Amino acid sequence: MTSEPRRILPPVHAVIDQKSLADLIQAKGRDSVVQTVREVIEEMRRSLVIGDDVEVSVESIARLVSTRILTQRESLRCVINATGILLNTGLGRAPLATDAADAVHEITRGYCNLEFDLERGERGHRTQGVEALLNRLTGSEASAVVNNNAAATLIALRALASGREVIISRGQLIEIGGSFRLPEIFEVSGSRLREVGTTNKTRLEDYERAIGPDTAAILRVHPSNYRIVGFTEDVSIPALANLAHQHGLWMIDDIGSGAIAPGYPPLVRDEPTAVEGLEAGSDVILFSGDKLLGGPQCGILVGRSEPIAKIKKDPLMRAIRVDKMSIAALEATLRLLFDHSVANARLPLWKLLTTPVEVLRQRAELIAKVFRDSFALEADVLETTSFLGGGTTPTQSFPSVAVTLSSPFPSPWNTEAAFERALRRGDPAVVARLHGGSLLFDLKAMTVEEDRLLEKAVGKLIVSH
Ligand SMILES: *Cc1c(COP(=O)(O)O)cnc(C)c1O
């Protein structure tokens, strides 16, 4: 074992001054190259500490630095979600089933029949296959798929109410994730917003009074990411749909999170579902593909033939259509949804939802033991509360278990915040939760396979100094 790595390793400036790095400094900026040199030297120092045989000449370090910078995956990377939030837009929402990822891999590596009918040898429709599956799953007459739910809302308002009024309750004028603001979507769609009621109370009479010759539709938006509690009053979908149809209006329902039917997915309460919405009389129901459905990013519209046909004919449809990767992933995901036990076993989100808390506790105990015994960390197990997130019912929580790390944290990461940052920048990146001086790894959104990866990621930061 080499005992004094500091003496053998060259200083950062000696590497930076290497001629071979000059072009890279020009292209990427001095700071970013210096940063990588520091990282490489630090890693070598650790390798030397544990007795690895590494070449420490300035030339070889410069070579490593330039290879690393040139081959770096710049932005999109795998992340271990230790936040306990199952659907986090920042972390890519629902993880795809292996079946869906495999379908993308297979379909996109060569050519495919995206818009070609193989039976007839003529032009086909790109979403025909997934539409048939959606109709079978939800009992809808027709369906359409677009880029995301914001696009679904936009096209529904445009195709069904452009130049006319749409009535919506004040309590449902939502903003989601800072970028989806309903009034702005209205503006872009060319339809006019007609707000009724108050933030906490809207009655059927409020809607009825607002109906005039210019009214085209009633819109219900599931207030996903917030909840008004206390004295609230809302009108049920059957009552709203009934009123809409009496006056020849469309009933549009944005259910947001995309639960198919009660129990699909399991354990999720208080979320409107597509099947119930159709039964209640909605003409068009909108939802996201990458929330509770557990599929790729897309916006799904299901409903009656007439409004869906109007929507599909709108020229904007061409600008918001889904690509072959999303279609491949969506088809594979939808096929899993026909059988409850298949979906529970193969859809990652559903599997995470149904993992018993006792299992989480056992896994947490094992991880905490490794942290304590192998890395000499101050680790413990804590009962936590995890959430669905992703613009779903904010009040719905699940009992969960987390592994905690508390001070002392190993040098040079002497605080929980510094340790959290190092893990976030590590490989794989770990996104954990800071909580009252501790670092929390909530297991609710983690698979068993990721337990070992988490241990490895933490272990990498611990190698003795
Ligand atoms: C999430 C959500 C949206 C936005 O969906 P995207 O697929 O992100 O465009 C719109 N409405 C509701 C009610 C939502 O929950």
Question: 385-427: per-residue pLDDT in tens?
Answer: 999 886 555 568 899 999 999 999 988 888 899 899 889 988 7
What local confidence, expressed as pLDDT, does residue 1 receive? 46
* Ligand 1 pocket mutation, candidates 154, 155, 181, 224, criterion most atoms within 8 A of CB: 224
- Does residue 377 share a domain with residue 238? no
- Report residue 296 as tokens: 């790729």
Answer yes or no: do 320 and 358 share one domain: no
258 CA distance to ligand 1 middle (Å): 9
Question: How far is ligand 1, taken at its centre, from the CA of residue 286, in Å?
Answer: 9
Task: From 91, 146, 148, 180, give the residue whose CB has the most ligand 1 atoms within 8 Å, as the site to mutate.
Answer: 180
- 148 CB under 6 A from ligand 1? yes
Q: Is the CB of 388 under 6 A from ligand 1?
A: no
Determine the Cα–Cα distance for residues 251 and 220; give it in Å rounded to an integer. 8
- Cα maximum dimension of the chain: 86
Res 104: pLDDT: 98
Centroid of ligand 1 to alpha carbon of 288 (angstroms): 6
- The pLDDT value recorded for residue 230 is 56
Residue 326 Cβ < 6 Å to ligand 1: no
Instruction: Evaluate if residue 86 carries a pLDDT over 80.
Output: yes
Is there a single domain that holds both residue 302 and residue 419?
A: no
Lowest mean pLDDT among 97-101, 187-191, 214-218, 414-418: 414-418
Query: Can you give the pLDDT at residue 214?
Result: 97
The number of the ligand 1 atom at minimal distance from the alpha carbon of 223 is 13
Helix then strand then coil, % of the chain, to nearest 5 = 45, 20, 35
Q: Given this model, what pLDDT does residue 73 score?
A: 59
Where residue 2 falls among pLDDT bands split at 50, 70, 90?
A: very low
| pLDDT of the residue at 21 | 92
Single out the residue in 312, 346, 380 at which a domain terminates. 346
Task: Please give the residue range of the domain that contains residue 307.
Answer: 98-346
Q: Does the Cβ of 285 fall within 6 Å of ligand 1?
A: no
Bridge partners (DSSP) of residue 176 are 180
Whether 265 lines ligand 1, by a CB cut-off of 6 Å, is no
Ligand 1 pocket, residue 36 CB under 6 Å: no
Residue type at 104? V
Any atom of ligand 1 within 6 Å of the Cβ of 180: yes
Question: What is the structure's pLDDT at 375?
Answer: 94
> What confidence tier does 231 reach under pLDDT thresholds 50, 70, 90?
low
Rounded Cα gap, residues 185 and 49, in angstroms: 58
Q: Which mutation among 88, 149, 298, 301 tests ligand 1's pocket best, with the greatest number of atoms within 8 A of CB? A: 149
Q: Are residues 287 and 371 in the same domain?
A: no
- Residue 217's closest CA among 263, 124, 172, 284? 284
Tens-place pLDDT, residues 142-168: 999 999 999 999 999 999 999 999 999
- For ligand 1, atom 2, which residue shows the shortest CA distance? 256
Residues 322 and 373 reside in one and the same domain: no
Q: In a 3-state reduction of DSSP, which class is residue 62? A: helix
Contacts of 226 (CB under 8 A, 6+ apart): 174, 394
What CATH number is associated with residue 171? 3.40.640.10
Do 184 and 329 fall within a single domain? yes
Choosing from 301, 329, 346, the residue where a domain stops is 346
What mean pLDDT comes out for the span 288-310?
Answer: 97
Residues 6+ apart with CB under 8 A from 346: 97, 98, 99, 336
Strand 165-169 and strand 215-221: the pairing is parallel
CA–CA gap between residue 139 and residue 360 (Å, rounded): 36
Residue 140 has pLDDT above 50, yes or no: yes
Rounded CA-CA distance 9/400 in Å is 45
**326 and 206 in a common domain:** yes
Give residue-wise pLDDT tens across range 242-275. 999 999 999 999 999 889 999 999 988 888 999 9
pLDDT at residue 445 greater than cutoff 70: yes
State whether the beta carbon of 172 lies less than 6 angstroms from ligand 1. no
For tokens 């972390």, name the residue: 91
Residue 356 and residue 323 share a domain = no
Cα separation, 200 vs 158, in Å, equals: 28
**Any idea of the CA torsion for 410, 416, 419, 421, to the nearest 10 degrees?**
-160
SS3 397: strand
Average confidence (pLDDT) over 181-186: 89
The rounded Å distance from CA 256 to ligand 1 centre is: 5
Does 182 sit in the ligand 1 pocket, CB within 6 Å? no
Residues in the chain, total: 465
CB within 8 A of 341, min separation 6: which ones? none
Q: Do residues 145 and 285 share a domain?
A: yes
One domain for residues 222 and 335 = yes
The best mutation among 91, 176, 254 to test binding of ligand 1, ranked by most ligand atoms within 8 Å of the C-beta, falls on: 176
Does the Cβ of 127 fall within 6 Å of ligand 1? no
Listed range (41-50, 100-109, 298-307, 429-438) with the worst mean pLDDT: 41-50
Q: For ligand 1, atom 15, which residue shows the shortest CA distance?
A: 256
- State whether 355 and 342 are in the same domain: no
CA–CA distance, 375 with 462 (Å, rounded to integer)? 6
In the block, which residue shows the tokens 């490895």? 456
**If you take atom 11 of ligand 1, which residue's CA is the nearest one?**
256
Tally of domains within the chain: 3
181 against 107, higher pLDDT:
107
Compute the distance from residue 176 Cα to the ligand 1 centre, in Å.
7
Q: Is the CB of 206 under 6 A from ligand 1?
A: no
Structure tokens at 387: 């959430």
What is the Å distance from ligand 1's center to 70 Cα?
Answer: 37
Give me the percent of the chain exceeding a pLDDT of 90. 71
Mean pLDDT confidence for 269-292: 95
Among 458, 459, 433, which Cα is nearest to 445's? 433
Residues 256 and 378 occupy one common structural domain? no
Ligand 1 pocket residue status of 221, Cβ below 6 Å: yes
**DSSP secondary structure code for residue 91 in this structure:** G
pLDDT in tens, 320-343: 999 999 999 999 999 999 999 999
Structure tokens at 127: 């979403």
Q: Which of 301, 328, 346 is the last residue of a domain?
A: 346
What CATH number does residue 384 fall under?
3.90.1150.180
